[in-house]
Structure 1
Amino acid sequence: MQPKTLKIIFWVSTLLIFIFEGVMPALTSQTEMAKEGIRHLGYPAYFGIMLAVFKVLGSIAITVPQVPATLKEWAYAGLTFDMVAASTSIWAVEGFSFNVFFPLIVLAVLMVSYFTYRKLNTLQYSKAIA
């Protein structure tokens, strides 16, 4: 795959994650609907605030190019844990429904971002050595 194509795929997927995991939680985490969602899943109220902060920070970390690679890796891991935990929590409380799949769909987009990020870094590293 061409580097230009990889960059486009990376930026589109990463910006989608930034919107879903950064912008949306920042704007909606204190709404009654979000608070009720956290309560419905059996989590304390402070968990929603903490989760929103970490989602925003993680999405910023994967979006800003100047963030060190190690921190980006941790951000990708944290966002992955979040999506898997969200899906599992929904399944445990509501049973098997479409709601279980939505975090997994976002996770798939996150994985596209991660794998294109890794591929782009590998290409840059190999160019630096040559």
Structure 2
Amino acid sequence: MLSSEGLLALYLCISNDKISDTMKRLTIIYWLTTVMFSLWMLGNAYAYLTSEEARRLCAHFGFPDYFRVELAVAKLIGVPVLVLPWLKGRIKEWAYAGFVITVISGFFAHLASGDSVRDSASALLALVFALISYASYHRLQVASSITKSINTGSLTTIV
């Protein structure tokens, strides 16, 4: 991994147009994957609370019925944390961690209850969306921080 000075040197070698294009691309990737993942989790939460099929599925996994409601509430709390741009830092990290644990656990719950890998694959797809959202979020944070430092002239002391 590059040091902050190395990242800065690399950043300074890139033209402003390239930086702007990269930021736009990262922003699109972030919002696309975050919104898709969030809608998926909201759909799951709604199903957990209203669907008889979700109740049967939780029983199939061997989970108590209240766990289905707990998962729904956690997802309903976590989605706004991911989507609201002014929520940053540890709370967003915890939301991502909770979703990743939930999705991975769902995949293994399917397998452990005898479902095929094909029937369990939707959990892996959700994991891919969550990981891309997470990675692009962090890349945007770094790029934004460097851009802000360059624009304010605070990087001149490092270079």
TM-score for the superposition, normalised by structure 1: 0.93
**Deviation (angstroms), 1:27:** 2.4
Contact 1:84/1:104 (8 A) holds in 2: yes
Residue of structure 2 in register with 1:25 after alignment: 44
Higher relative contact order (CA 8 A, sep 6+): 1
Distance in 1 between the 2:74 and 2:121 partners?
22
1:111 aligns with 2:131: yes
**Structure 2: 5+ residue runs without aligned partners?**
1-20, 151-159
1:87 aligns with 2:107: yes
Q: CA 1:90 to 1:26, structure 2 compared with 1: closer, same or farther past 3 Å? A: closer
The code of the aligned residue for 2:109 comes to S
Distance in 2 between the 1:89 and 1:78 partners?
16
Q: Percent identity?
A: 26
Root mean square deviation, CA, Å:
1.3
- Please give the residue correspondences for 1:39-58 in structure 2 after superposition, counting only pairs within 5 Å: 39-58=59-78
**Deviation (angstroms), 1:59:** 1.6
1:67 aligns with 2:83: no
Contact 2:45/2:71 (8 A) holds in 1: no
Contact 1:25/1:56 (8 A) holds in 2: no
Paired residues, number:
129
**Corresponding residue to 1:3 among 23, 33, 49:** 23
In the TM superposition, what whole-angstrom CA distance separates every residue of 1:58-104 from its partner, at most 9, and x where no partner exists?
Answer: 12111110113211011001000001100011100114331221101
Contact 1:61/1:67 (8 A) holds in 2: yes
**Structure 1: 5+ residue runs without aligned partners?**
none
Q: Secondary structure at the match of 1:66?
A: coil
Residue of structure 1 in register with 2:8 after alignment: none
Q: Secondary structure at the match of 1:37?
A: helix
**Deviation (angstroms), 1:56:** 1.7
